[in-house]
Amino acid sequence: AGMNLPMVIESYSARFSGQDPKDVIKGIVGEAKKGVKVFPEEFNPQEEKPAALAKKAGSANLPTSGQIQYVLARIDTRLLHGQVATGWTKAANPDRIIVVSDNVAKDKLRKNMIAQAAPSGVPANTVPIKKMAEVAKDVRFGKTKAMLLFETPEDALKAIESGVDIKELNVGSMAYSNGKVNVNQVLAMDQEDVDTLKKLRDMGVKFDVRKVPNSSPENMDELLKKAQSLIDGNK
């Protein structure tokens, strides 16, 4: 049938949207075509480069005054992946995706993978936290609608403390690793995570705990209580 992963994700999301079946078919076929990539990029036929042209056009037309708008700031261990590139990009409608991470900014392979995972027409950049703080004050990015992606709560806290004015954080995925406890199917925390999220809460940051746009939000205070109880029980 010629299916690929973007097509499956789009069809799954469309299932809950109540769209007309004809519109759903048009949408999933379009996503399937966008999901076909050619590596190395220089082998791409000239006519198959609309995304590159859109990126160039976007860069040339950056606003010259104002302040950057954050349409979504998300904590996600996986950063830019299918659910973000399709569901959250459609829900938030950014014109630029920015991964904010000191670690990823030093990793050429991950930076390239993130750039390639960006949806058509929405460029993705990776910057260190200090650079993001500079971008937040740069009038050349005024009125840019940016989606910010953080790998950890600690990175989000550092960015906010550096002057990135984020009022709300979408908490979507925090992967399990040694020393962490699972508080639900997609969130695992250790003591540093709990303390960081509490500090963000005390600073007035609101939390939207959802993996995908159409799921019901969970209560962060209850999740933090559960995490602390599990951590204390493991001592």
User: What positions carry a catalytic annotation?
Assistant: 81
Best CA proximity match to 55, nearest among 118, 146, 100: 118
Rounded CA-CA distance 206/122 in Å is 26
CA triple 85-90-93, angle to 5 deg: 105
Best CA proximity match to 141, nearest among 123, 114, 118: 123
Best CA proximity match to 168, nearest among 129, 214, 200: 200
Strands 206-209 and 168-173: parallel
Rounded CA-CA distance 36/43 in Å is 13
What is the full DSSP assignment across 92-145? H--SEEEEE-HHHHT-HHHHHHHHHHSPTT--EEEE-HHHHHHHHH-GGGTT-E
